[in-house]
A = this chain, B = another copy of it.
Amino acid sequence: MRSQKLRPRLLAAASVFLLIAQFPLQAGAEAIVAKEEVANFLLGNGMEVVVIPDHRAPIVTHMVWYKAGSADEPPGKSGIAHFFEHLMFKGTKTHKPGEFDAKVSEIGGNENAFTSYDYTAYHETISPDALGDMMAMEADRMRNLILTDEVIGPERDVVLEERRMRIEGDPDSLLSEEVQATLYQNHPYRVPVIGWMHEMEKLNRADATEFYDRFYTPNNAVLVVAGDVDVAAVRKMAEDTYGKVARGPDLPPRTRPTEPEQNTSRTVTMKDARVTLPSFGTQWVVPSYRTAENGEAEALDLLAEILGGGTRSRLYQALVVNDDAASGVGAYYNGTMLDDTSFTVYGAPRDKAALARLEADVAAQIQRIQRDGVTESELEKAKNRLIRSMVFAKDSPASMANIYGAALTTGSTVEDVQKWPERLQAITADQVKAVAVRYLRPRIAVTGYLLPDDSTSN
């Protein structure tokens, strides 16, 4: 139990997508890309396989991604996707609880798992000669878990404690949850990945079994293997392990309730005695890589980079470097999502009392782009930064596995990933301006405020 409490199983969406943004999807027409041979095929039972050979070091990352995240949960059963991730480390018919962890430790590997809105993923980084064993164990727990009340009850206590520690104990996390619930008026991204406490408390064996039987099937999973391996050997091992698992029933398309037209601006305010420095974050619902058309997702990635993607960005230069107004400021875009997603700008002032001024300064930077657009020079630099970060990602099989896994479980293809740099290169300054005008409208902005407790009112 203990090791699982400490293991960072839950990756909040923001972290997942910041990771993707730092190492954005690339390949294409360049020298680096020519080296990247990615194999992509289906096993007989419908399981998709991606193999990314990289022989520079004797190491391999093995990941299984399920197309099942919190946004796939039945209403009222929030948290079951993440709870189930925990249950995957329990015993199967042939392996005792904890054996999976022990095995990976024994061979000197490391392993982890995480749950997000659109997927749940399990990964191990190991020496290549252990890959067959890993696949056998991972294939085993895909269908053979023992889900008794004795298993469920104590692990539910673990995830409840995880929520208490990570969310209830952290005003910023509590605020984020309610901002999400306000931003999305209809779509299940409204519901937190970890679940609402009062619903998590009621999750039971029937819920777990139903979730398992529905989603944990080879035809709803993507195997990603990246590292010092040979494609033919991986295919053979995959067929001998995952390939033996019976195909599950075909799932209906992942069609979720979508957002209505929005007509209001909204604020969400959290006051808490633990807050010392006020901060704000403003969000908008925008298309994701899957739902966008006409390069709007790529343009949003560039807008986020130019506006607030690091120390070279307009926000940072204007409000941290030149003006000394902000202790932190930035923007990000969560593009790797199955459905319409969010674009965020945020800031914290150096001076406690200057929150409103900082917010106005950030708004002014957005308005400047909406009015005057971005320059060719900053567009070029932003493209280069995003593409360069991909080069770094290629240095790590684990990063590449992450990129492909997240893309393939959110409606993109291997080809989409590989052509991303080309598509990014084709974006014009006008397109960046256009998405700023179209999506970052103050009239429909949703802003969260985290404020120090300034009164005795309740």
Q: Which residues on A are within 8 Å of B, measured CB to CB?
A: 75-76, 78, 174-175, 177-178, 181-182, 185-186, 188, 190-191, 196-199, 255-258, 260-271, 441-443, 448, 457-458
Contact = CB atoms under 8 A, between A and B. Distances in A.
Contacts of A262: 178
A260 B191 CA distance: 10
Q: Which of A178, A197, A258, A457 has the most CB of B within 10 A?
A: A178
A266 B266 contact: yes
A263 B178 contact: yes
A428 to B, nearest CB: 22
A258 B198 contact: yes
B175 A256 contact: no
Query: 3 closest pairs, A vs B, by CB?
Result: A181-B185, A196-B260, A76-B257
Nearest to A75: B257
Given A185-B190, A271-B443, A457-B442, A261 B175 contact: no
Contact of A260 (B182, B197, B270, B448): B197
A190 B185 CA distance: 8
Q: How many copies does the complex hold?
A: 2
A452 to B, nearest CB: 14
A278 to B, nearest CB: 14
B268 A264 contact: yes
Given A75-B256, A78-B186, 15 more contacts: A75-B257, A76-B255, A76-B256, A174-B263, A175-B264, A177-B260, A178-B264, A181-B186, A182-B185, A186-B196, A196-B260, A198-B261, A199-B257, A266-B266, A266-B267
Given A76-B255, A178-B185, A185-B190, A197 B261 contact: yes
A258 B256 CA distance: 20
A322 B37 CA distance: 80
A366 to B, nearest CB: 11
A283 to B, nearest CB: 14
A229 B48 CA distance: 69
A186 to B, nearest CB: 6
Given A260-B197, A261-B197, A267 B270 contact: no
A79 to B, nearest CB: 11
A448 to B, nearest CB: 8
Contacts of A269: 264-267
Nearest to A437: B458
25 contacts: A75-B256, A75-B257, A76-B255, A78-B186, A178-B185, A178-B263, A181-B185, A182-B182, A185-B190, A186-B190, A186-B191, A197-B260, A197-B261, A198-B261, A199-B257, A199-B258, A263-B270, A264-B269, A265-B269, A266-B267, A266-B268, A267-B267, A271-B443, A442-B457, A443-B458
